[in-house]
């Protein structure tokens, strides 16, 4: 496959002002007619002679082409792999193309496909070319009109924009026409057709316009729409209040589909969602699902401005819309829920998975400079690190300055396809700021490391912080330049409160680290302080400072920044777990780290702290997080150390866990409010530790909670504890009963699959294989694949890394099979095999061998080829 480079970007030779589409739907032979008003792009750097017109097209049967009403003879066009090249003799013309496609045969879930009998589309990034021949690139923006013709058993026919016509054809088929007045790239096109029901609401915008809101599902799910609808209204209001962004069409629609490659898609006026990311009811969805739905609904809605009204010039600029929109949705969720907990969760993902990506074979900058397959670049780096980059701009400019910048960006670029550079320039221009050095965050891959040292001079009362920065090499990038890193700090005195940093009484400050080695001096500091560094995780870096155990315990108790309070506990646990791994390797006896027990005990007894924060502080770093400690990954040592500490904490603190569990285990109607979610999270953390003791009496608590069956959060937590810590036969009985109860509910069945395949004790390879034979498992459904195969390979560290290498061979086998059906999913699920270099010798060889099996299995999709070849290079 060909590599595409950012440096090769050229403006399109032709523009498409209007796009008129007609779909005559049929599972095996959908007829697609397109009528495009094409004209030469005055801004293209071409010559006077008219260049050929390139139209992307994949898996299409070409029926006819006409220009200005005249059928084009065969010598005027050439069908090539990936598209069509037309000889053009006019600078403006109407191009009509007819193609035939087979949605039923489309298992890639890109383009037009069928999900449980419902027609739906997924066009980002390059799916539109599977629908019709088109310049399928985001800098070609067009006004779309779409007519859908379908049999009468498809009463709901939807597309972007406003409905302008509907009727019945002479032969009794239904027809509807939609027009979207906002010019958009083809990746934002959408079509849905099915026998669907909807719930409806309305939102009155800040200027007094009424917008109809509709959420469509299969009839059986109509009772699971309320939370998403509420989340949508909250999002619309928040975007008006925080960013001054008003919705622009008369209608906003969301459709839930079961077969979907990602979480959701922001098609103009017609968002399409993975059912798992939109449908919820208290009986069937956990708190985590409620919060995820709120965040994704907001994310897709926010794209209406950050992505749709202002879109990307090319796919290298993906983070322009994704990083910014993730930042926007994270702030929204922080405002709706616990800000500290949201931050902890986001940073955990970043440190666990994005840092690994940054250190792996697919490492790339937030704005990549090359790719083979763009679908492989919908990554944590582009999304999450991209959001951190936007957050740092927010930190540097302050909330008001950032708002000035975003106002200017939206005003200046409304209706345009632009670049990350345009975003930065708007931020600079609105504030008279200089972000020259800061730009490197967009072009340099890898996670920077900050090494911090300090000195205190009692006599001069001067405190000095020395900060060194270094960004490790990554594939194709060496000798990186220093970045502009905002490091938020406070200095804690003996009493635990933050010391004033100057005469204004300021106690927290953002240090602008711009050099490889930089010193910051603070005067009038009356005692040796303890630094609280990188507060709120003010930059996506690894920070190293030689905190002692006592200092970490002090920060856990006193830091006024809840993020750093939590982080101090995590550092304590990391240090303890890494010593224990060493002891395990040396064959010496493992000893429970008393300081960690003391710290956790104090947290557990602190009833003044937000229970959600307590739950987070009690959670040990996951096995996956521990692989990020540096050095060779030794899976058995990680598992042994972590289990030893978990069991020790459970046994030692059992009375406290029990007391808090009992206090929180009150029966009340389910409500997904921040405070109730917080209480349930702490209660279920306690329950998990209690069950880890293996005591019959504690397992009985989980059984009672499961039997109570009054909300899915408590039921799933109890079931998970019983599956992980109870006897296998009983666990099986509970799982069977749970399945019997919920077998009709797709989302609960997905939870049920995931819970088993990710269980370190229960989710053996044999069980995972058995789950794949279950009647509810469907290899063509990404949610089922993610739950069972992903649950095992990505969330079941213990079983996946079984010493005989069977987990790796299994994953290779599944990836090869998946690639034939759905290359995007295959290229994602192979990720655990790409990290082979990080493991200790024997495991490393086994993982690499599995990856080579994939490589040598025959012709791979472009998606999988890119990941596998780069990982083995």
Query: Could you give the CA distance from residue 549 to residue 558 in angstroms, rounded to a whole number?
Result: 14
C-beta nearest to ligand HT7: residue: 262
**What is the β-pairing status of strands 517-522 and 462-470?**
antiparallel
Place of tokens 């917008």: 211
Residue given tokens 């007609």 in the structure block: 22
How many C-alpha atoms does 56 have within 13 Å on its Cβ side?
17
Considering CB under 6 A, how many residues would be counted as binding ligand HT7? 15
Classified as helix, coil or strand, 513 is strand
- Determine if 124 is a binding residue for ligand HT7 (CB under 6 A): yes
Element at 213 (helix H, strand E)? strand 210-217
The first and second tokens of residue 825, run together, are 């999913």
Of the candidates 105, 92, 13, 4, the residue with the CA atom closest to the CA atom of residue 59: 105
Among 30, 99, 122, 715, binds ligand HT7 (CB under 6 A): 122
In this structure, what token pair is assigned to residue 238? 């928040």
Question: Among 777, 842, 768, which Cα is nearest to 799's?
Answer: 768
Catalytic residue status for 110: no
User: 324-383: which residues touch Zn ion (CB under 5 A)?
Assistant: 325
**Does 338 contact ligand HT7 by CB under 6 A?**
no
Three-class SS of 596-646: HHHHHHHHHHCCCCCHHHHHHHHCCCCHHHHHHHCCCECHHHHHHHHHHHH
Q: Is the Cβ of residue 123 or residue 556 nearer to ligand HT7 in the bound state? A: 123
SS3 141: coil
Q: Which does 329 bind (CB under 5 to 8 A by kind): Zn ion, ligand HT7, none?
A: none
Yes or no: say if 635 and 684 are a contact pair by the CB < 8 Å rule: no
| 125 lies in the binding site for ligand HT7 (CB under 6 A) | yes
428, 442 contact by CB (below 8 A): no
Smallest distance from Zn ion to CB 322, Å: 5
378 binds ligand HT7 (CB under 6 A): yes
Q: Which is nearer to Zn ion, 322 or 750 (CB)?
A: 322
Task: Work out what residue 186 binds among ligand HT7, Zn ion, none; the CB cut-off runs from 5 to 8 Å by kind.
Answer: none
**Angle between the N-to-C axes of helices 287-302 and 712-725, in degrees from 0 to 180, rounded to the nearest 10:** 120
In the region spanning residues 13 to 72, those forming contacts with ligand HT7, defined by CB under 6 A, are: none
Q: Which 773-792 residues touch Zn ion, going by CB under 5 A?
A: none
- Of 311 and 665, the one with the shorter C-beta distance to ligand HT7 is 311
Helix (H, G, I), strand (E, B) or coil at 871: helix
Nearer to ligand HT7, 125 or 190 (CB): 125
Q: Which is nearer to ligand HT7, 262 or 749 (CB)?
A: 262
Question: Is 798 exposed, middle or buried (CB count within 10 Å of its CB: 0-12, 13-18, 19+)?
Answer: buried
Q: In the range 739-758, which residues lie near ligand HT7 by CB under 6 A?
A: none
The nearest distance, CB 166 to ligand HT7, in angstroms, is 28
Q: Quick check: 786 binds ligand HT7 (CB under 6 A)? A: no
Q: Which does 684 bind (CB under 5 to 8 A by kind): Zn ion, ligand HT7, none?
A: none
The yes or no reply on residue 724 touching ligand HT7 (CB under 6 A) is no
Nearest to 489 by CA among 481, 499, 503: 499
Tell me the C-alpha to C-alpha distance, in Å, between residue 545 and each of 99, 296, 452, 481: 62, 36, 5, 22
**Could you give the CA distance from residue 542 to residue 848 in angstroms, rounded to a whole number?**
28
Nearer to Zn ion, 324 or 522 (CB): 324
Q: Which does 224 bind (CB under 5 to 8 A by kind): Zn ion, ligand HT7, none?
A: none
Give dist(CA 460, CA 778) in Å, integer.
70
Asked whether position 810 contacts ligand HT7 by CB under 6 A, the answer is no
Catalytic residue, chosen from 266, 300, 384, 750, is 300
In angstroms, give the least distance from the CB of 383 to ligand HT7.
Answer: 7
Cβ count near 355 (within 10 Å):
21
Q: Which of 56, 136, 180, 322 binds ligand HT7 (CB under 6 A)?
A: 322
Give least dist CB 349 to ligand HT7, A.
15
Using CB under 6 A, pick the residue from 824, 846, 861, 871 that binds ligand HT7.
824
101 or 609: CB nearest ligand HT7: 101
Site string for Zn ion, 700-739 (x = CB under 5 A): ----------------------------------------
Site string for ligand HT7, 81-120 (x = CB under 6 A): ----------------------------------------
Shortest distance, position 382 Cβ to Zn ion, whole Å: 10
Write out the E strands in 482-635: 485-492, 509-513, 517-522, 530-533, 542-544
Residue 239 binds which of Zn ion, ligand HT7, none (CB < 5-8 A, kind-dependent): none
Q: What backbone torsions phi and psi does residue 262 show, to the nearest 5 degrees?
A: -125, -155
DSSP 628: G
Nearest distance in Å: CB 323, ligand HT7? 10
Min dist CB 585 to ligand HT7, Å, is: 42
Q: Site residues for ligand HT7, window 244-303 (CB under 6 A)? A: 261-262, 264-266, 299-300, 303
Nearer to ligand HT7, 623 or 818 (CB): 818
User: Whose Cβ is closer to ligand HT7: residue 322's or residue 345's?
Assistant: 322
Q: CB of 694: closest distance to Zn ion in angstroms?
A: 44
**Where in 295-334 is the site for Zn ion (CB under 5 A)?**
322, 325
CB of 266 to ligand HT7, least distance (A): 5
Pick one of Zn ion, ligand HT7, none as the site partner of residue 262 (Cβ within 5 to 8 A by kind): ligand HT7
**In 438-508, at which residue ranges do the beta strands (DSSP E only) sit?**
449-457, 462-470, 485-492
What's the DSSP call for residue 51?
Answer: P
**Interface stretch with ligand HT7, choices 121-129, 208-216, 474-482, 787-795 (CB under 6 A):** 121-129
Binder of ligand HT7 out of 217, 375, 834, 861 (CB under 6 A): 375
Burial letters for 845-868: b for 16+ Cβ neighbours within 10 Å, e otherwise?
ebbbebbebbbebeebbebbbbbb
Question: Which whole-number Å values give the CA distances from 660 to 516, 528, 558, 605, 868, in the listed order?
Answer: 48, 37, 22, 8, 48
Q: Which residue has the tokens 């791994």?
A: 581
Shortest approach of Zn ion to residue 300 CB, angstroms?
Answer: 7
Cβ proximity to Zn ion: between 329 and 703 the closer is 329
Of 266 and 345, nearer to ligand HT7 (C-beta) is 266
Q: Is 314 in the site for ligand HT7 (CB under 6 A)?
A: no
Beta carbons of 66 and 34 less than 8 angstroms apart? no
What is the smallest separation between the CB atom of 325 and Zn ion, expressed in angstroms?
Answer: 5
For residue 467, the 8-state DSSP code is E
370 by DSSP, 3-state: which? strand
Copy the structure tokens of residue 522. 């603070």
Pairing of strands 61-67, 449-457: unpaired
**Smallest distance, Zn ion to C-beta of residue 540, A:** 18
Q: Binders of Zn ion: how many residues, by CB under 5 A?
A: 2
Q: State phi, psi for 408 to the nearest 5 degrees.
A: -65, -40
Q: Which is nearer to ligand HT7, 482 or 823 (CB)?
A: 823
How many CA atoms lie less than 13 Å away from 578 in the CB half-sphere? 14
Who contacts 342 (Cβ-Cβ below 8 Å, separation ≥6)? 330, 333, 334
Answer for the pair 656, 605: CB distance below 8 angstroms, yes or no.
yes
Chain residues binding ligand HT7 by CB under 6 A are 122, 124-125, 261-262, 264-266, 299-300, 303, 322, 375, 378, 824
Chain residues binding Zn ion by CB under 5 A are 322, 325
Q: Which active-site residues does the annotation give?
A: 300
């Amino acid at each position: 496959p060909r590599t595409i480079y950012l440096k090769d970007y050229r403006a399109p030779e032709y523009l498409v002002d209007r796009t008129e589409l007609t779909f005559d739907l049929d599972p095996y032979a959908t007829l697609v007619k397109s009528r495009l008003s094409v004209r030469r792009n005055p801004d293209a750097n071409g010559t006077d002679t008219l260049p050929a017109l390139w139209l992307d097209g994949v898996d299409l049967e070409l029926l006819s082409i006409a220009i200005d009403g005249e059928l084009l003879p065969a010598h005027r066009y050439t069908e090539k792999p990936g598209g069509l090249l037309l000889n053009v003799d006019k600078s403006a013309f109407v191009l009509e193309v007819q193609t035939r496609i087979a949605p039923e045969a489309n298992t890639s879930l890109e383009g037009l496909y069928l999900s449980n009998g419902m027609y739906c589309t997924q066009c980002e990034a390059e799916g539109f070319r599977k629908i019709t021949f088109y310049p399928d690139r985001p800098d070609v923006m067009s006004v779309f009109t779409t007519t859908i013709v379908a049999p009468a058993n498809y009463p709901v026919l939807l597309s972007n924009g406003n409905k302008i016509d509907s009727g019945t054809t002479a032969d009794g088929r239904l027809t509807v026409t939609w027009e979207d007045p906002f010019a958009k790239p083809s990746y934002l096109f959408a079509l849905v057709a099915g026998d669907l029901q909807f719930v409806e609401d309305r939102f009155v915008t800040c200027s007094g316009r009424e917008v109809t809101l509709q959420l469509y599902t299969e009839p059986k799910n109509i009772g699971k729409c309320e939370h998403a609808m509420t989340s949508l209204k909250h999002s619309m209001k928040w975007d008006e209040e925080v960013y001054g962004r008003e919705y622009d069409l008369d209608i906003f629609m969301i459709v839930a589909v079961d077969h979907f490659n990602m979480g959701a898609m922001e098609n103009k006026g017609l968002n399409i969602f993975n059912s798992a990311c939109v449908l919820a009811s208290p009986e069937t969805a956990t708190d985590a699902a409620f919060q995820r739905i709120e965040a994704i609904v907001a994310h897709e809605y926010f794209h209406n401005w950050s992505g749709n009204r202002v879109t990307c010039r090319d796919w290298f600029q993906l983070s322009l819309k994704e990083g910014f929109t993730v930042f926007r949705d994270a702030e929204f969720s922080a405002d709706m829920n616990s800000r500290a907990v949201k931050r902890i969760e986001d940073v955990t993902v970043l440190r666990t998975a994005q840092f690994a990506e940054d250190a792996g074979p697919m490492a790339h900058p937030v704005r990549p400079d090359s790719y083979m397959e763009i679908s492989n670049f919908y990554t944590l780096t582009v999304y999450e690190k991209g959001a951190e980059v936007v957050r740092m701009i927010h930190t540097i400019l302050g909330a008001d300055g950032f708002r000035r910048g975003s106002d200017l960006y939206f005003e200046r670029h409304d209706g345009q396809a632009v670049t990350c550079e345009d975003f930065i320039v708007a931020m600079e221009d609105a504030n008279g700021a200089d972000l020259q050095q800061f730009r490197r965050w967009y072009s340099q891959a890898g996670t920077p490391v900050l090494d911090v040292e300090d000195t205190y001079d009692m006599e001069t009362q001067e405190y000095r912080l020395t900060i060194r920065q270094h960004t490790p090499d990554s594939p194709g990038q060496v000798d990186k330049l220093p970045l502009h890193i905002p490091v938020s700090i406070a200095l804690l005195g003996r009493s635990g409160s933050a010391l004033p940093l100057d005469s204004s009484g300021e106690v927290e400050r953002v240090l602008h680290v711009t050099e490889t080695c930089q010193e910051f001096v603070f005067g009038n500091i009356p005692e040796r302080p303890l630094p609280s560094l990188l507060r709120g995780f003010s930059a996506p870096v690894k920070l190293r400072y030689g905190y002692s155990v006592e200092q970490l315990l002090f920060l856990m108790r006193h830091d006024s920044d809840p993020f750093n309070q939590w982080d101090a506990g995590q550092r304590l646990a990391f240090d303890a777990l890494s010593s224990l791994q060493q002891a395990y390797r040396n064959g010496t006896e493992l000893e429970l780290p008393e300081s960690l027990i003391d710290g956790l005990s104090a947290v557990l007894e602190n009833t003044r702290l937000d229970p959600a924060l307590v739950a987070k502080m009690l959670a040990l770093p996951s096995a996956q997080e521990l692989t990020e400690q540096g050095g060779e990954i030794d899976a058995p040592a990680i598992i042994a150390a972590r289990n030893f500490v978990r069991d020790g904490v459970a046994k030692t603190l059992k009375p406290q866990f029990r007391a808090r569990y009992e206090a929180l285990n009150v029966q009340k109607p389910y409500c997904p409010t921040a405070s109730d979610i917080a209480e349930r999270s702490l209660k279920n953390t306690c329950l998990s530790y209690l069950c880890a003791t293996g005591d019959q009496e504690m397992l009985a608590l989980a059984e009672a909670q499961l039997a109570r069956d009054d909300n899915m959060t408590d039921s799933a937590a109890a079931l998970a504890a019983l599956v992980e810590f109870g006897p296998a036969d009983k666990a099986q009985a509970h799982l069977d009963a749970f399945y019997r109860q919920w077998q009709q509910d797709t989302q609960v069945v997905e939870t049920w699959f995931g819970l088993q395949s990710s269980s370190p004790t229960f989710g053996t390879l044999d069980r995972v294989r058995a789950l794949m034979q279950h009647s509810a498992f469907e290899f063509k459904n990404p949610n089922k694949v993610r739950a069972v195969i992903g649950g095992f390979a990505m969330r079941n560290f213990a079983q996946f890394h079984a010493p005989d290498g069977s987990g790796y061979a299994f994953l290779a086998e599944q990836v090869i099979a998946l690639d034939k059906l759905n290359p995007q999913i295959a290229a994602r699920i192979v990720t655990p095999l790409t990290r082979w270099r990080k493991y200790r010798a024997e495991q490393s060889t086994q993982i690499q061998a599995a990856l080579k099996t994939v490589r040598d299995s025959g012709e791979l999709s472009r998606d999988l080829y890119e990941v596998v070849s780069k990982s083995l290079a």
